[in-house]
C-alpha cells in the first residue's frame, strides 16, 4: 500500500513538473524557428533558425541591455534586502512609541500600486537630475514595503530574541549583533527576499518604460518588447531574447534552492 | 589572504564597470536639458500664441526642396544630437542611416518604443516634465490626441514654412489642428486595396486579372455569394478571408461615416454595416476564425486555403512579403467593392521643448525625408514608402514600376494613382483609437459566438463605449 502511494505521489509530481516545464521547453524550441514558421504547426523539435534569431537579438545592443538589467537587479536586490533586514530587526528587537502605527504605515505602502505614484516619482527623479541614468529604476526598490513587511514577519518568528540579549550581555554592539548574530539566523528569509526582488526588478516593465529614453539604458523587458513593431512581431527573436533573459533567474533558483528549504534557525539556541 | 584581496579587487573592478553604465552620459553632445514642467508649459504657451497669429504668409510659401530649410544645423559645423522615439524600425533605421551619411553633423538617436506603449510614454513624459524626444511619431488613430498635447512645433510657421497644399488633398489636413497648426508630416500615403493569391483566384474564378476580379466583386454581397461557393466547393477548407478582425478593419476604414460629429459619437451608424456584413460572412463561411494579427493568422499568408487579404500599402512588406517569402509572383492587388480606402499611417512632428539647434536639425531631417529627391527615393527603395508630397508624382515613374512579387503588376501606379486619388478620409476624433479598440473586441466576439447578431454586437459596443468614453458632454449613439 505504501509503495502504491509513493508511486502515485511520484506520478502526480511528474505530471505537475511536466505541465510546469512544457512552456519552457516550447520557449527554447520556438526560439530556434523563424517567426513565420512557429505557428504553422506544433513545433516539437528544434529548427535551424537559431543563429539568425541570435543575430537579430545581438544586432540591437543586447549585451549592454543585459548588463543594465543585471546591474539594476543586483543593486536593487542588495540594497533592498539590507534595508528590509534592518527594518525587520529594528521592528522586532527595539521597543519604541508608535511602533504599531509604523508597521501599519509600512503595510499601507504595499497597498498603493506603482502606477499611482509614477508621475510623482518621475518628478522626484527629474528634480534630483537622475533622469537619463539607471538610478530611477534602482532607487524604487530601496525602501520597499513588501521587503520590510516580509523581514518583520520573518525575523519576528525566526529570530530568538535571547540571542540578541546574550550578545548584548557579552558586550557586542548593535551593528555586530545584526551582522554576525542575526544575519546568519535569518538567511532563508534573506535569500527568499533576494530572489523575489531580483525577479521583480528583472521583469519590471512600467518604470523602465517611462524612464528609458535611449537604447543605452534599455532593460531586458523593454528590449524584448521593442523587437515588435506596430505591424509585425518577431516572435522568434523575442523568444530567443527570453531564453537569454531566463538564465540569471534559473541560476538564482538553482543556487538558492538549497537554502530555501533549510531552516537555519533550528537549534540556534540550545534548550 | 591573497585570494581574498584578489576577490575584493575583482569585485570592485566589476562594480566600477557596471557603474560606468549608470552615469549620466553627458558626452553625447545632446544639448537638451530636462524639459522642466515650467519650460514645457511656457513653450507650449508660446507655440499656442504664435499659432494664433496671422499665418497667411506661411501658407503661400513653397515648402519643397531647399527653400523650405529652417535653421541650418550643418552651417555651424557643430555636431547636434537629436532624439526620436518610434516603433517603426523598418522606416526609421534605413532613413536615419542614409540621412546621417549625407549630414555628418547631425546624429539621430532612436529609441524603439512598442506601439502599444507609445502614447502613454509621451503623456507620462509631459505630465512629469521629463525629456521628450526631438521628433515624435504620431499614429493617425491618435492624431487628435497628439494635437491636444500642445508640445509640437507648427510646421507652417517660420522657419519651417511648410505649405499643406504640397500634400495630397485627402491627407493634408489630418495632422492639422482646427486653428491651422500643422503638427506633423505624414510618413507615407496609406492607400489600401485587396491583395489576393493568384493561383487560388484562377482555381475558383478562372482568372487572376485584377480588373476582371474587381468586376466579379462589385458589391459586398458578391463576397458572400462567392465566398460561400468557395467554402462549399473546397469541402469547408477554403475561405475567402482569413480573419473577421481583418474584414472589420477594412470595412471600418472604408466607411466614410465620421466617428464623431460635434458632441455625438456615431457608433451605431459607423458600426452597423461593418458588423452586419461581418455576421453575414461568418454565417456563410466566407471568413475563417483566425484572430487578426496573431502569428497563426499571419501564417495563413503562405497557405493554400485563404484567398483575400485587406491590404494597406505598408502591409505589402510587413505582412505579405514577410509572411510569404516564397510567394513571389503569386500575389495580386485589386480594388475592393467599397472602393479605395486609407488604413493606418502616422506623421512625424518636432517637439517645441527641444532646443533651437535640435529643432533645426530635426527639420533638416524632415525636409530631407519628405521634400528632397534623395530622401524620397530612399523611402521608396529601402522601405517601399511613398511620400504624400504631390510634386514627386508629377514624374510618372516615381510611383510606377512592375513588382515581380505581384507577377509584374504595377502596384505603385495602382495604389498611388488609382486608389490614393479616390480616398475620402472621415474626420478624425480623439476617440478614434477607443472606437477601433472596441471594433476589434466586437470582431473577435462575433467570430467566437455564431449566435451573436449585428444588433447584439452594436449593443455590446455601445455598452463598451459608455464605459470607455468618459467625456460626459458627449452623446453616444
CA angle B326, B331, B335 (to 5 degrees): 160
The SS3 of residue A214 is: coil
From the list B124, B132, B130, B122, the residue with the least C-alpha distance to A117 is B124
Per-residue pLDDT tens over the stretch B389-424: 988 888 888 888 788 899 999 888 888 878 887 787
CA B109, CA B86: separation in Å to the nearest integer?
Answer: 11
Are the C-beta atoms of B410 and B400 separated by less than 8 Å? Answer: yes
User: Does residue B318 have a pLDDT over 90?
Assistant: no
pLDDT digits (tens, 9 = 90+) for B196-219: 999 999 999 999 999 999 999 999
Output the pLDDT for position B136.
Answer: 95
Domains of chain B, residue spans:
37-189+345-394, 191-342+413-476
Domain range for residue A132? Answer: 53-260
Nearest C-alpha of chain B: how many angstroms from A177? Answer: 24
A64/B21 CB distance under 8 A: yes
* Measured distance CA(B222)–CA(B216) in Å, rounded: 7
Select from B90, B125, B344 the Cβ nearest to the Cβ of A229: B90
Residue among B210, B207, B467 nearest B336 (CA): B210
Distance from CA of B313 to the nearest CA of A (A): 12
Handedness of CA A160, A163, A168, A172 (dihedral sign): negative
- Give the mean model confidence (pLDDT) for residues B302-327: 88
Q: Count of CB contacts below 8 A, A vs B?
A: 118
Question: Residue A183 burial by CB count (10 A; 0-12/13-18/19+): exposed, middle or buried?
Answer: middle
Q: First vs last Cα of chain B: how many Å apart?
A: 80
Contacts of B344 in chain A (CB under 8 A): 230
- Pairing mode, strands B191-197 and B185-186: unpaired
Return the pLDDT at B30. Answer: 37
Q: What is the mean pLDDT of chain B?
A: 82
Neighbouring CB atoms inside 10 A of A24's CB total 13
CATH number for position A104:
1.10.3720.10
Residue A11 lies in a domain: no
Please judge whether A134 and B113 are an interchain contact, meaning their C-beta atoms are less than 8 angstroms apart: no
Q: Is residue B50 helix, strand or coil? A: helix
Report the distance separating Cα A36 and Cα B301, nearest Å. 9
The residue with greater pLDDT, A191 or B1, is A191
Lowest mean pLDDT of A209-218, A220-229, B98-107, B297-306, name the range: A220-229
The confidence score (pLDDT) of residue A232 equals: 60
Using an 8 Å CB-CB cutoff, list residues of chain A that contact chain B: 35-40, 60, 64, 67-68, 70-71, 74, 118-119, 122-123, 126, 129, 131-135, 209-210, 212-216, 225-226, 228-233, 235
Is A210 inside any structural domain? yes
Question: In whole angstroms, how far apart are CA A46 and each of B215, B322, B435?
Answer: 47, 21, 41
Chain-chain contact of B124 with A226 (C-beta, under 8 angstroms): no
In this model, does residue B36 exceed pLDDT 70?
Answer: no
For residue A271, tell me if it sits in a domain: no
Q: Are the beta carbons of B353 and B151 closer than 8 angstroms?
A: yes
Q: Quick one: closest CA in A to B88, which residue?
A: A229
Q: How many domains does chain A have?
A: 1
Would you place residue B53 in the very low, low, confident or very high pLDDT band (cuts 50, 70, 90)? very low
Owner of C-alpha cell 529604476: A137
Q: Which stretches of chain A drop beneath a pLDDT of 70?
A: 1, 40, 228-233, 258-271
Residue A218 lies in a domain: yes
Give residue B233's Cα distance to chain centre: 38
CB contact under 8 A, A68 and B325: no
Nearest residue in B to A136, CA atom: B22
Among B92, B127, B130, B316, most A C-beta atoms within 10 A, so best to mutate, is B130
Q: Would A68 be classed as within a structural domain?
A: yes
CB contact under 8 A, A233 and B314: no
* B313 within 8 A of B91, measured Cβ to Cβ: no
- B201 compared with B18, residue with greater pLDDT: B201
Instruction: Decide if B114 and A214 are in contact by the 8 Å CB cutoff.
Output: no
Cβ-proximal residues to A148 (8 Å cutoff; 6+ apart), any chain: A83, A84, A87, A88, A91, A106
Contact B25 A216 (CB under 8 A): yes
Nearest CB among B131, B299, B344 relative to A213 is that of B131
Looking at residue A181, its pLDDT comes to 87
Name the burial class of residue A249, with classes exposed (0-12), middle (13-18) and buried (19+) by CB atoms within 10 angstroms of its CB. Answer: middle
pLDDT at A161: 84
- Exposed (0-12), middle (13-18) or buried (19+): which is A82, by Cβ within 10 Å? middle
Q: How are beta strands B475-476 and B331-334 bridged, if at all?
A: unpaired
Q: What is the pLDDT of residue B394?
A: 85
| Cβ neighbours of A200 (radius 10 Å) | 16
CB A204 within 8 A of CB A137: yes
Which one of A39, A126, A229 has the shortest CB-CB distance to B130? A126
Strands B264-265 and B346-350: unpaired
Q: Do A228 and B325 count as a contact with CB atoms less than 8 A apart?
A: no
- Tell me how close the Cα of B46 comes to any Cα of chain A, in angstroms: 23
Residue of A nearest to B345 (CA): A230
3-class SS of residue A172: coil
Q: What is each CA distance from A267 to A45, A159, A185, in whole angstroms?
A: 50, 11, 10
Mean pLDDT of B333-362: 91
Question: What is the grid cell recorded at A48?
Answer: 535551424
B128 with A226: Cβ contact below 8 A: no
Average pLDDT over residues B226-235: 94
C-alpha cell at A183: 544575519
Which residues on neighbouring strands pair with residue B403, listed in sequence order? B409
Q: List beta partners, residue B159.
A: none
Q: Are strands B135-139 and B80-86 parallel, antiparallel or unpaired?
A: parallel
Nearest alpha-carbon partner for A214 in B79, B84, B359 = B84
Could you tell me the strand order of the sheet in which B346-350 lies? B106-112, B80-86, B135-139, B346-350, B185-186
**Residue B69, pLDDT above cutoff 60:** no
Query: Span B331-355, mean pLDDT?
Result: 91
CA A114 to chain centre: 16
Range from A41-45, A142-146, B173-177, B307-311 carrying the lowest mean pLDDT: A41-45
Whether residue B299 and residue A36 make contact (CB cut-off 8 A), yes or no, is yes
Same topology between domain B37-189+345-394 and domain B191-342+413-476: yes
Given this model, what pLDDT does residue B31 score? 35
Which residue of A60, A133, A231 is in closest CB contact with B22?
Answer: A133
Q: Residue A72 domain-assigned?
A: yes
Q: B131 or B153: which carries more pLDDT confidence?
A: B153
> How many angstroms separate the CA atoms of B70 and B368, rounded?
11
Three-class secondary structure assignment of B147-185: HHHCCECCCCCCCCCCCHHHECHHHHCCCECCCCCECCE
Chain A residues within an 8 Å CB radius of B128: 119, 122-123, 126, 210
Confidence of residue B457 (pLDDT cuts 50, 70, 90): very high
**Quick check: B22 pLDDT over 70?**
no
Please give the residue of chain B at the shortest CA–CA distance from A41. B296
Kindly state the cell numbers that stand for A43.
513545433
pLDDT value of residue B230: 94
Contact list, A231 vs chain B (CB under 8 Å): 314-315, 318-319
Per CATH, which fold does B37-189+345-394 belong to? Answer: D-Maltodextrin-Binding Protein; domain 2 (3.40.190)
Consecutive H or E run containing B306: strand B306-312
Are A125 and A118 in contact by the 8 Å Cβ rule? The answer is no
Q: Contacts of residue A73 in chain B, CB cutoff 8 Å? A: none
The answer regarding whether domain B191-342+413-476 maps to CATH 3.30.420.40 reads no
Cell numbers placing B29 = 553632445
- Strand pairing partners for B347? B138, B186
Per-residue pLDDT for B105 more than 90? yes
pLDDT score of B147: 93
- In chain B, residues with a C-beta closer than 8 Å to the C-beta of A238 are none
B21 or A190, which is more confident? A190
- Cross-chain residue pair A123–B128, CB shorter than 8 Å: yes
**Distance between CA atoms of residues A15 and B141, nearest Å:** 47
Residue in B115, B128, B296 nearest the CB of A119: B128
ipTM over cut 0.95:
no
Q: Which of B21, B124, B133 sits opposite A68 (nearest CB)?
A: B21
Contact B17, B106 (CB under 8 A): no
Chain A residues with CB-CB distance to B319 below 8 A: 231-232
pLDDT of residue A18: 92
Predicted pLDDT at B76: 56
- pLDDT above 90 covers a percentage of chain B that reads 49
Amino acid at each position: 500500500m505504501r509503495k502504491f502511494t509513493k508511486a502515485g505521489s511520484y506520478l502526480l509530481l511528474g505530471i505537475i513538473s511536466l505541465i510546469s516545464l512544457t512552456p519552457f521547453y516550447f520557449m527554447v524550441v520556438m526560439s530556434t524557428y523563424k517567426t513565420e514558421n512557429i505557428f504553422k504547426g506544433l513545433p516539437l523539435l528544434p529548427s535551424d533558425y537559431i543563429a539568425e534569431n541570435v543575430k537579430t537579438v545581438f544586432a540591437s545592443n543586447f549585451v549592454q541591455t543585459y548588463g543594465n538589467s543585471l546591474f539594476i537587479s543586483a543593486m536593487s536586490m542588495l540594497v533592498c534586502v539590507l534595508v528590509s533586514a534592518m527594518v525587520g530587526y529594528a521592528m522586532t528587537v527595539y521597543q519604541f512609541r508608535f511602533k504599531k502605527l509604523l508597521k501599519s504605515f509600512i503595510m499601507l505602502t504595499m497597498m498603493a500600486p506603482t502606477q499611482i505614484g509614477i508621475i510623482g516619482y518621475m518628478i522626484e527623479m527629474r528634480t534630483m537630475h537622475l533622469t537619463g541614468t539607471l538610478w530611477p529604476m534602482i532607487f524604487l526598490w530601496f525602501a520597499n514595503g513588501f521587503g520590510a513587511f516580509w523581514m518583520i514577519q520573518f525575523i519576528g518568528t525566526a529570530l530568538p530574541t535571547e540571542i540578541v540579549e546574550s550578545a548584548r550581555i557579552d558586550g557586542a554592539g548593535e551593528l555586530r549583533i545584526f551582522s554576525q548574530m542575526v544575519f546568519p539566523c535569518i538567511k532563508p528569509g534573506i535569500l527568499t527576499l533576494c530572489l523575489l526582488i531580483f525577479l521583480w526588478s528583472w521583469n519590471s516593465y512600467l518604470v523602465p518604460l517611462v524612464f528609458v529614453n535611449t537604447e543605452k539604458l534599455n532593460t531586458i523587458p523593454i528590449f524584448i518588447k521593442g523587437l515588435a513593431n506596430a505591424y509585425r512581431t518577431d516572435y522568434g527573436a523575442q523568444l530567443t531574447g527570453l531564453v537569454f533573459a531566463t538564465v540569471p533567474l534559473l541560476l538564482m533558483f538553482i543556487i538558492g534552492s538549497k537554502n530555501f528549504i533549510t531552516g537555519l534557525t533550528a537549534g540556534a539556541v540550545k534548550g | 589572504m591573497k585570494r581574498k584581496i584578489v576577490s575584493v579587487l575583482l569585485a570592485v573592478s566589476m562594480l566600477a564597470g557596471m557603474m560606468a553604465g549608470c552615469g549620466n552620459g553627458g558626452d553625447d553632445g545632446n544639448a537638451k536639458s530636462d524639459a522642466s514642467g515650467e519650460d514645457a508649459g511656457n513653450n507650449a504657451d508660446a507655440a499656442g500664441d504664435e499659432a494664433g497669429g496671422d499665418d497667411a504668409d506661411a501658407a503661400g510659401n513653397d515648402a519643397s526642396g531647399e527653400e523650405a530649410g529652417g535653421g541650418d544645423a550643418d552651417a555651424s559645423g557643430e555636431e547636434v544630437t537629436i532624439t526620436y522615439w518610434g516603433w517603426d524600425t523598418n522606416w526609421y533605421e534605413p532613413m536615419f542611416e542614409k540621412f546621417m551619411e549625407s549630414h555628418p553633423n547631425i546624429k539621430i538617436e532612436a529609441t524603439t518604443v512598442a506601439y502599444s506603449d507609445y502614447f502613454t510614454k509621451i503623456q507620462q513624459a509631459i505630465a512629469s516634465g521629463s525629456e521628450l524626444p526631438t521628433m515624435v511619431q504620431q499614429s493617425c488613430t491618435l492624431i487628435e490626441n497628439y494635437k491636444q498635447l500642445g508640445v509640437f512645433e507648427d510646421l507652417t510657421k517660420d522657419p519651417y514654412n511648410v505649405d499643406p497644399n504640397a500634400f495630397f488633398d485627402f491627407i493634408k489636413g489630418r495632422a492639422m489642428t482646427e486653428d491651422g497648426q500643422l503638427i506633423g508630416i505624414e510618413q507615407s500615403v496609406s492607400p489600401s486595396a485587396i491583395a489576393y493569391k493568384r493561383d487560388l483566384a484562377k482555381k475558383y474564378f478562372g482568372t487572376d486579372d485584377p480588373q476582371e476580379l474587381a468586376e466579379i466583386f462589385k458589391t459586398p454581397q458578391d463576397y458572400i455569394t462567392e465566398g460561400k461557393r468557395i467554402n462549399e466547393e473546397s469541402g469547408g477548407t477554403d475561405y475567402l478571408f482569413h480573419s473577421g478582425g481583418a474584414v472589420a478593419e477594412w470595412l471600418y476604414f472604408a466607411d466614410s461615416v465620421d466617428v464623431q460629429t460635434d458632441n455625438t459619437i456615431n457608433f451605431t451608424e459607423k458600426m452597423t454595416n461593418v458588423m452586419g456584413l461581418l455576421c453575414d460572412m461568418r454565417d456563410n463561411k466566407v471568413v475563417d476564425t483566425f484572430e487578426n494579427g496573431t502569428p497563426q493568422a499571419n501564417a495563413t499568408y503562405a497557405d493554400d486555403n485563404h484567398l483575400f487579404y485587406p491590404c494597406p500599402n505598408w502591409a505589402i512588406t510587413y505582412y505579405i512579403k514577410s509572411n510569404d517569402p516564397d510567394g513571389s509572383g503569386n500575389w495580386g492587388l485589386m480594388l475592393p467593392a467599397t472602393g479605395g480606402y486609407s488604413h493606418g499611417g502616422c506623421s512625424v512632428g518636432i517637439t517645441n521643448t527641444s532646443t533651437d539647434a535640435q529643432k533645426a536639425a530635426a527639420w533638416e531631417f524632415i525636409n530631407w525625408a519628405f521634400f528632397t529627391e534623395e530622401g524620397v527615393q530612399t523611402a521608396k527603395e529601402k522601405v517601399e514608402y511613398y511620400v504624400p508630397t504631390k510634386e514627386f508624382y508629377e514624374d510618372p515613374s516615381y510611383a510606377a514600376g512592375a513588382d515581380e512579387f505581384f507577377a509584374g503588376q504595377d502596384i505603385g501606379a495602382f495604389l498611388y494613382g488609382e486608389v490614393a486619388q479616390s480616398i475620402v478620409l472621415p474626420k478624425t476624433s480623439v476617440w478614434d483609437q477607443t472606437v477601433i479598440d472596441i471594433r476589434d473586441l466586437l470582431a473577435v466576439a462575433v467570430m467566437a459566438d455564431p449566435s451573436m447578431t449585428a444588433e447584439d454586437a452594436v449593443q455590446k459596443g455601445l455598452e463598451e463605449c459608455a464605459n470607455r468614453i468618459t467625456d460626459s458632454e458627449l452623446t453616444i449613439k
